[in-house]
Every structure is written in C-alpha cells, then in structure tokens.
Amino acid sequence: MPGSATRRSAHMQFGRAYEEFEVGAVYKHWPGKTITESDDHLFCLITMNHHPLHLDAHYAAGSTQFGKNVVVGNLIYSVLLGMSVADVSGKAIANLEIESLRHVAPTFHGDTIYGETTVLDKWESKSKDDRGVVHVETTGYKQDGTVVCIFRRKVMVPKHSYLEARGGEQPGRPVPLPRD
C-alpha cells in the first residue's frame, strides 16, 4: 500500500539448508577477486611456499615458460572456496572431503578470478535425520573466461529442523538496543 510505514524483515542469505539445494543448480559467486602481487607473495610467505616462480620476478622472467610470476595455485583454490561459502557452505556442519582439485591454467598478478558452483548430488544422512550431504563442483575462471581451477567437495549441511533447534537463520545475533 503506497505510503505504508510497514517494514518487512529482510536478511542476506548465508549458505543454504539441505532442503534448499537442488541437483543441477548453479550458483554464480559474486564479486570476483583481482589477485595482486601482494596477495600472492603474502600467501606464499604465510604458507612457506618460497618457490621462485611465485616470488622472484627476475627468475620467472628468464627461467620459466611464462616469463613472469605465476600465482600460487592454492591461493586461487582458497579464494574460490571462500567465494563459495555464502552460496554453499555458510551453514555447513562440516566440510567432509575435497574429492578432487585441478589447476588447469595459470593465473598471473592482475588477473580477476570469478567462480561458480554446480550441485552434483545430495543425500540425507544415514545416521542423523536433521542433516544431509551435498556434493558440489566449483569452477574458477579469469576475466577472459579461461578456466583456471576446478574442485569437487562434499559438505554436510543442516536441514531446517537442525537450524530451528539451534536458534533459526542467524543464531546468536543480538538485537540492537533502542537509542536514547
């Protein structure tokens, strides 16, 4: 009704309950992430991967097929996994398995990574009736569409009954106090 002061409660979805997954669904993760030299070097140093292909521009220019630094593959995997959380595993009870991980093309400093996840299968837990498992494949690609990384994983996710028994959609969220 025009002029109505009625406000509807809205929230951003973070992950999905088991019932919300459909086999064949594709979730296009947003936004993308531009990988900087700093991102790559920090990740290499934190994970102790000191290969000069990733850290030494002089080495990469003269001693590699690409002629420049290549972003370490596990950074790309980690970024894609993180991108998928809001659409796939934000409500997960457990990440059960990374079934496969393939790096199919190199990524360079300045490339932007985008990702999407396809639901391959889902099944109810055999031991607990308040959860299920989803089997998904995430594909990462660069700004020009080149696929760079593909991985499959299995995630245990709650059913609506599990969430309701533990505080609903956003358990533990405080209510703001009125301002004076």
Residue-wise pLDDT tens digits, 87-104: 999 999 999 999 999 999
Give me 26's structure tokens. Answer: 């594709």
- CATH number for the region 21-165 comes to 3.10.129.10
Mean pLDDT for 9-38 is: 90
In the chain, the amino acid numbered 148 is V
pLDDT of 1 over the 70 cut: no
Contacts for 147 with CB less than 8 Å, ≥ 6 apart: 104, 105, 139, 140, 141
pTM of the shown model: 0.88
- Helices 73-84, 37-46: axis angle to 10 degrees equals 100
**Sheet of 147-158: strands edge to edge?**
26-34, 112-124, 131-142, 147-158, 94-103
Helix-then-strand count for the chain, H and E:
5, 5
DSSP state string for 1-26: -TT-----------S--GGG--TT-E
Residue-wise pLDDT tens digits, 41-72: 999 999 999 999 999 999 999 999 999 999 99
In the chain, the N- to C-terminal Cα span, in Å, equals 31
Residue spans of the domains in the chain: they are 21-165
Using CA atoms, how far apart are residues 169 and 147, in angstroms rounded to an integer?
A: 34
* Per-residue exposure over 18-34, b if at least 16 CB sit within 10 Å of its own CB, e if not: beebeeeeebebeebbe
CA Rg value for the chain = 21
